[in-house]
Amino acid sequence: MSETAHRYTAELADQIELAWQDRWEESGVFNAPNPSGPFADPEKVASYDGGHMLVLDMFPYPSGAGLHVGHPLGYIATDVFSRYHRMLGKNVLHCLGMDAFGLPAEQYAVQTGQHPRVTTEANIVIMKRQLRRLGLGLDNRRAIRTMDPEYYRWTQWIFLKIFNSWYDREAVRPDGGLGRARPITELIADFESGARALPDGDERSWSDLSAVERAEVIDSHRLAYASEAPVNWAPGLGSVVANEEVTNDGRSERGNFPVFKRNLRQWMMRITDYSDRLADDLDRVEWPEKVKAMQRNWIGRSHGARVAFQVVGAPDGTEPIEVFTTRPDTLFGATFMVLAPEHPLVDSLVPQGEWPAGTNPTWTGGEATPEASVTAYRLAASRKSDVERQMEGKDKTGVFTGAYASNPATGTEIPIFIADYVLMGYGTGAIMAVPGQDERDWHFADVFDLPKIRTVQPTEGHPEDEAFGGEGPAINSANDTLDLNGKPIAEAKAAMIDWLVAQGFGEATVSYKLRDWLFSRQRYWGEPFPIVFDTDGVAHGVPESMLPIELPEVPDYSPRTFDPNDAASEPEPPLGRVREWVEVELDLGDGRGVQKYRRETNTMPNWAGSCWYHLRYLDPENHDELVSAATEEYWVGPRETPVAGAPAGTRDPGGVDLYIGGVEHAVLHLLYARFWQKVLFDLGHVSSEEPFRTYFSQGYIQAPAYRDDRGQPVEASEVEESVGEDGQSAFTWRGQPVTREFGKIGKSLKNMVSPDDMYAAYGADTLRLYEMGMGPLDQSKPWDTRAIVGSQRFLQRLWRNVVDEETGEVRVVDEPIDDATSRILHRTIDAVRRDYDELGFNTAIARLIEFNNALTKLDAVPRAAAEQIVLMVAPLAPHIAEELWSRLGHAESLTHEDFPVADPALLVEDSVTCVVQIKGKVRDRIEVPSDISEDELREKALALPKVVEATAGGVRTVIVRAPKLVNVVPL
């Protein structure tokens, strides 16, 4: 240590890093100016010749456990990218807020009585320290927190906008498409003027309706509405949750409690009105295909037809049974129908009295009459939870209703069943069953001995006893007025739909899996709804002037929770206990004067705050608007050119230029945020149609975890590794052998690795470099603490190339860069730029190491070379780069220095190594001038002794790819 007092050690890194972090903070060098408003600096904005860029991360929830080394991965990546683009002359905005509402703080509050705000603020302090130590170049003036009233005031404001609007399917959008949100006042005006008729053929005029009746009509159009509907109720959690938050084994994502379908009055968001736009606009953004696919899948748009089936023997005017099918071409093969047990038409279908003559005994469920059978089946089905339904797998159950319908294509009478494999929530809740082409229907037909008619010719070798879902010509599909036989599926579908329309039996239609978004939660720690109910139970939005509706203090933070399996329990939100807050007298400014109201006691889900935070970052000090129009348009307005890979003719939707976060939010946050953005766009509050024009999902860092012989995780930091005689690693914990696996970092696997430890042992720059060097950003990869030293060694060599370790003096020389080094330098610049552009940080680091190693081999490093590598390293390891830059004699931070530019003339080599292959195998190499002609190269290659030897019998062909390759093929 004594002889190398100025070595780049962890201690020195610590000093340098803390010093530069202070300097950055004091100078506000990462503060990005706005064109107008509170952070306005129009001159500075105009001074950026490279334009502007908004780079964001999915913001963190401040957990009590602090960060682990997996968390910063995305933040480092966005920081490197941002710093690089600042050096390209752009006004880069990179900032990070806190997703401060959430369940953990509330659960802690329930246990300890400590206010969630206190817990959350304490956690934020810890997290901010850890993040600051990482050296992120953030605009800290914009570090918004969702729990602050000044923030959630605008969350509530957006809710009011959504509540006060409706989706007009006929309205024309600026892009010419149909359908957009409009203020609810315009709908009311239409009703008042009579321009719009009342629903359900009600012929009264608007003024004839009572206030409650009007509210009912209006509420049925609102984009946010309270309704009594089947929702996911988790008694153990004490709250309802959204469809997206239910795992596929029927449990709540939070807390893993059983979830039951219950009819409860809850707030919903009419996201289904946006199904098409949410699906279509995925083409306009640059996202991982995987995530787009997940969203498309979740929206679940399928094109098909509605077909009406008349019930046989029903009195005139009886409603037909409507089915949805994606395969109208198979209608000739529909041999029975199935309704969901809850289908509203079931009651009217079931005939009184005995089973029809000749009813197959297996269809009756063992009951004496259709009515008894249907009642019993429906009861059994209603008692089954989703989990139980799933456990039954594909075993088909059901009963005959006793009624028949007429197949419109064939006129055949087909039996109508109810069965729980048909879901009320999708399509029309009724299907035409086509066993020939549908596996599920085939199974059902097997169980109930129903006929099967193939209407598509199966491919050869297709098993006789299976449905055929593949492509083929139609068969058995003709009647007096329609002949589909021989047509391929697509053609047959179109022909059938035309026929159905002509005959009045049906029409083409589209069905979606997406359901409306359940938006209320029975929790304390969330945004209160800006909603009050009058004495008639009608919901009113409070005037904007009353915002924010602040979260009141409560004696008890917990919702009432129940036995997790008590499906019959009722939610009870904590806010309901604060009577003086709930019961208010207000003048809503609607002309009714002061009235008695009850406040909504549910709170908004955690997603609310994160649906729009990307907008608030832009203008966080604006107290008059969510974001000013000019500022919004400057940062996220549509760009001239669409994103890469967009279909021809696409208009850019605008949005965040780079958004990085975990793929676990693919159908939650990322879908909800898109929905809110589109509503705000429709209502004219933003110019961008998408929140995130480019989204990148980073992989996870997995850390080794160890289990003992009982399978219990043991503390990973206490495990010792030894290499056995067979060369394989063995692991022991307190003397006992344990097995290693790689998994998510956290408490449950006892494999926590804290960035604090890495700062102490190596410094932040080394940690940053290691995390960025591990591999492609989108891949998950294993953490290996002992490999970090490689990153440290690189920085030490870089340091040593500039600073004398013994004296601390700068040791670069003021001499020109020699030609060979210059060529390496420019090739490095070229490659590093390309890598940085594409988030290829791992390969950029490899190039920088190579160049640095080349400098190490020189007797002395020319100043210009040192400066160039320092600038190139700066985005990745900003502290050491700033320190070296300053020691090299620059007074200013390098934040806005120009990134090195490669000279194209220096990218081409004078001579290159040419590979000489014989029959495709490398046999020799020759140095040739890089501008060698094909003929000359061919001659040179053919003259080589090895080639002469191999071609003694003659030459068949010679492939020349000058200057790098010659392939000789002998006869």
- The residues facing 927 across adjacent strands are 913
Task: Write down the least CB distance from residue 702 to RNA, Å.
Answer: 10
Answer for which of 776, 808, 816, 889 binds RNA (CB under 7 A) is 776
Residues 679 to 738: which contact RNA by CB under 7 A?
none
Tell me the closest approach of the beta carbon of residue 857 to RNA, in angstroms.
6
- Judged by CB under 7 A, the chain residues 440 through 479 that form the site for RNA are 440
CA distance 427 to 410: 23
| Footprint of RNA on 315-344 (CB under 7 A) | 324-327, 340
Asked if 721 and 729 touch (Cβ cutoff 8 Å), the reply is yes
Q: Is 31 or 302 the residue whose CB approaches RNA more closely?
A: 302
**Residue 292 annotated as binding?**
no
From candidates 122, 376, 915, 950, binder to RNA by CB under 7 A: 915
d(CA 600, CA 541) in angstroms, rounded, equals 10
CA 306 to CA 427: how far, in whole Å? 9
Question: CB of residue 451 vs RNA: minimum separation in angstroms?
Answer: 17
| Minimum CB distance to RNA, residue 658 (Å) | 19
Residue 460 or 585 having the CB closest to RNA = 460
Alpha helices per DSSP H over 435-525: 439-448, 489-503
What tokens appear for 111 in the block? 């246990």
Q: Does 303 bind RNA (CB under 7 A)?
A: no
639 contacts 652 by C-beta, under 8 angstroms: yes
Q: Which of 170, 203, 289, 465 binds RNA (CB under 7 A)?
A: 289
- The minimum distance between CB 379 and RNA, in angstroms, equals 17
| Residues within window 643-672 making contact with RNA, judged by CB under 7 A | 663, 667
Name the segment binding RNA (CB under 7 A); options: 84-92, 417-425, 746-754, 903-911. 417-425
Cβ distance 189 to 196 under 8 Å? no
Q: Which is nearer to RNA, 300 or 473 (CB)?
A: 300
Which residue of 129, 265, 747, 964 would you call a contact of RNA, by CB under 7 A?
964
Q: Which of 651, 631, 633 is nearest to 642 (CA)?
A: 651
Q: Which is nearer to RNA, 92 or 434 (CB)?
A: 434
Q: What distance in Å separates the CA atoms of residue 901 and residue 918, rounded to the nearest whole number?
A: 40
CB of 162 to RNA, least distance (A): 25
Binding region for RNA (CB under 7 A) out of 451-459, 477-485, 669-677, 955-963:
955-963
CB-wise, 43 or 725, nearer to RNA?
Answer: 725
In the complex, what is the shortest distance from the CB of residue 493 to RNA, in angstroms, rounded to a whole number?
11
Binding flag, residue 830, RNA (CB under 7 A): no
Token pair listed for 884: 């070296």
Among positions 227-266, residues that touch RNA (CB under 7 A) are 248
Tokens of 429: 């809740």
Tokens 């081409």 correspond to 908
Strand, helix or coil at 121?
A: helix
Which residue type occupies 952?
Answer: A
Q: How many CB atoms lie within 10 A of CB 791?
A: 25
Tell me which of 360, 736, 779, 911 binds RNA, using CB under 7 A. Answer: 779
Instruction: Say if CB 552 and CB 149 are below 8 A apart.
Output: no
Cα–Cα distance, 450 to 336 (Å, whole number) = 8
Number of residues that bind RNA (CB under 7 A): 88
x/- binding map, residues 833-872, to RNA, per CB under 7 A? -------x-xx-xx--xx--x--xx---------------
Shortest distance, position 533 Cβ to RNA, whole Å: 33
Reduced to 3 states, what is the DSSP secondary structure of residue 918? strand
Q: Minimum Å distance from CB 378 to RNA? A: 15
Nearer to RNA, 797 or 890 (CB): 797
For RNA, the binding residue among 6, 128, 182, 389 (CB under 7 A) is 389
The string of DSSP codes covering 718-729 is GEEEEE-TTS-E
The minimum distance between CB 926 and RNA, in angstroms, equals: 11
**Encoding tokens for residue 661?**
């976060």
What letter would DSSP give residue 206? Answer: G
Site string for RNA, 1-30 (x = CB under 7 A): ------x-----------------------
Q: Which is nearer to RNA, 126 or 846 (CB)?
A: 846
**Per-residue tokens: 19:** 């010093």
Q: Largest Cα–Cα distance of the chain, in whole Å?
A: 108
Query: Measured from the CB of residue 10, what is the shortest distance to RNA in angstroms?
Result: 11
- x/- mask, RNA, residues 364-383, rule CB under 7 A, reads --------------------
Q: Quick check: 908 and 826 in contact, CB under 8 A?
A: no
Q: Which of 784, 809, 898, 949 binds RNA (CB under 7 A)?
A: 784
Q: Is 825 helix (H, G, I), strand (E, B) or coil?
A: helix
**CB 753, min distance to RNA, A:** 15
Q: Which residues ranging from 492 to 511 are in contact with RNA (CB under 7 A)?
A: 511
Binding RNA by CB under 7 A: which of 126, 188, 229, 294?
Answer: 294
Helix (H) or strand (E) holding 81: helix 72-87
Site for RNA in 90-149 (CB under 7 A): none
Token output for 399? 């009963």
Joined together, the tokens standing for residue 381 give 């089905």
Terminus-to-terminus CA distance in the chain, angstroms? 67
User: How near is the Cβ of 653 to RNA at its closest, in Å?
Assistant: 23
DSSP state of 412: -
Tally DSSP H helices, then E strands, for the chain: 29, 31
Q: CB 955 → RNA: shortest distance, Å?
A: 11
User: Binder to RNA among 145, 180, 262, 396 (CB under 7 A)?
Assistant: 396
- 490 touching RNA, by CB under 7 A: no
Distance CA(954)–CA(944), nearest Å, equals 14
Residue 203 or 395: which CB sits closer to RNA? 395
Specify the stretch interacting with RNA by CB under 7 A; choose among 457-465, 749-757, 862-870, 959-967.
959-967
Within 572-611, which residues bind RNA (CB under 7 A)?
none
Residue 866 CA to residue 880 CA, distance in Å, equals 13
* Nearer CB in complex with RNA: 201/463: 463
CB of 374 to RNA, least distance (A): 18
750: left (phi over 0), alpha (psi -120 to 50) or beta: left
The residue type at 386 = D
Binding characters for RNA, 787-826, by CB under 7 A (x = yes): x-xxxxxx-xx--x--------------------------
Backbone torsion region of residue 796, taken as left when φ is above 0, otherwise alpha when ψ lies between -120 and 50, otherwise beta: alpha
Asked if 376 contacts 367 with a C-beta cutoff of 8 angstroms, the reply is yes
* Helix, strand or coil, per DSSP, at residue 397: coil
Q: Find how far residue 38's CA is from the centre of its chain.
A: 32
Report which of 794, 658, 878, 700 is spatially closest to residue 132, judged by C-alpha positions: 878
Closer residue to RNA (CB): 293 or 948: 293
The arrangement of strands across the sheet holding 91-95 comes to 91-95, 52-57, 658-661, 695-697
By rule CB under 7 A, what string of x and - marks binding of each residue 923-942 to RNA?
A: --x-----------------
> Which of 546, 629, 906, 965: binder of RNA (CB under 7 A)?
965
Cβ closest to RNA, residue 288 vs residue 488: 288
Interior angle at CA 733, CA 727 and CA 738, nearest 5: 60
Helix (H) or strand (E) holding 304: strand 302-311
Question: Which is closer to RNA, CB of 181 or CB of 308?
Answer: 308
Binding residues: 747
Binding residues for ATP: 747
